[in-house]
Amino acid sequence: MTDVITAPQATERGTAVEFRALRRTYGSAHALDGLDLALKPGELLALLGPSGCGKTTALRLLAGFDTPTSGQVLIGGKDVTGIPASKRDTGMVFQAYSLFPTMTAAENVAFGLRMRRVGAAERARRAAELLEVVGLGDRGGSYPHEMSGGQQQRVALARALAVSPSVLLLDEPLSALDARVRVQLRDEIRRVQLAEGITTLFVTHDQAEALAVADRVAVLNKGRLEQVDTPQEVYTRPATEFVAEFVGVTNHVPVEDGRIRPGADTRQVRPEGLTVGDPDGLSGTVLTSTFLGAVTRLVVTTEVGELIVDVTSRPDLPAAGEPTTVTLAP
* Residues that bind another protein in the complex, under the rule CB under 8 A: 63-65, 67, 84-88, 90-92, 94-95, 97-103, 111-112, 114-116, 143-145, 156, 159-160, 163, 169
Dist. CA 101–CA 68, nearest whole Å: 32
Rounded least distance, CB 289 to another protein, Å: 27
Rounded least distance, CB 49 to another protein, Å: 21
Q: Which residues are paired to 273 by β-bridges?
A: none
By C-beta, is 113 or 210 nearer to another protein?
A: 113
By C-beta, is 91 or 271 nearer to another protein?
A: 91
By C-beta, is 67 or 313 nearer to another protein?
A: 67
Q: Which amino acid is at 64?
A: G
Rounded least distance, CB 172 to another protein, Å: 12
By C-beta, is 156 or 317 nearer to another protein?
A: 156
Kindly give, in sequence order, each residue whose CB lies less than 8 Å from that of residue 233, ignoring residues fewer than 6 positions away.
Answer: none
By C-beta, is 2 or 86 nearer to another protein?
A: 86
Rounded least distance, CB 143 to another protein, Å: 5
Rounded least distance, CB 121 to another protein, Å: 19
By C-beta, is 139 or 224 nearer to another protein?
A: 139
Report which of 261, 304, 312 is spatially closest to residue 284, judged by C-alpha positions. Answer: 304
By C-beta, is 150 or 305 nearer to another protein?
A: 150
Rounded least distance, CB 193 to another protein, Å: 17
Cβ–Cβ under 8 Å, residues 75 and 89: yes
Q: Is 305 helix (H, G, I), strand (E, B) or coil?
A: strand
Kindly give, in sequence order, each residue whose CB lies less than 8 Å from that of residue 201, ignoring residues fewer than 6 positions away.
Answer: 17, 39, 45, 47, 59, 62, 167, 168, 169, 170
Q: What share of the chain is helix, strand, coil (3-state, %, to 5)?
A: 30, 35, 35
Q: Is 187 helix (H, G, I), strand (E, B) or coil?
A: helix
Cα distances (Å, whole numbers) of residue 99 to 60, 67, 107, 182: 18, 25, 10, 18
Rounded least distance, CB 119 to another protein, Å: 16
Rounded least distance, CB 63 to another protein, Å: 6
Give me the sign of the Cα torsion angle 39, 45, 49, 52: positive
Cβ–Cβ under 8 Å, residues 29 and 183: no
Dist. CA 130–CA 108, nearest whole Å: 11
Dist. CA 89–CA 156, nearest whole Å: 16
By C-beta, is 23 or 224 nearer to another protein?
A: 23
- The DSSP secondary structure of 80-117, one letter per residue, reads -TTS-GGGS-EEEE-SS--S-TTS-HHHHHHHHHHHTT
By C-beta, is 50 or 141 nearer to another protein?
A: 141
Cβ–Cβ under 8 Å, residues 300 and 276: yes
Rounded least distance, CB 58 to another protein, Å: 15
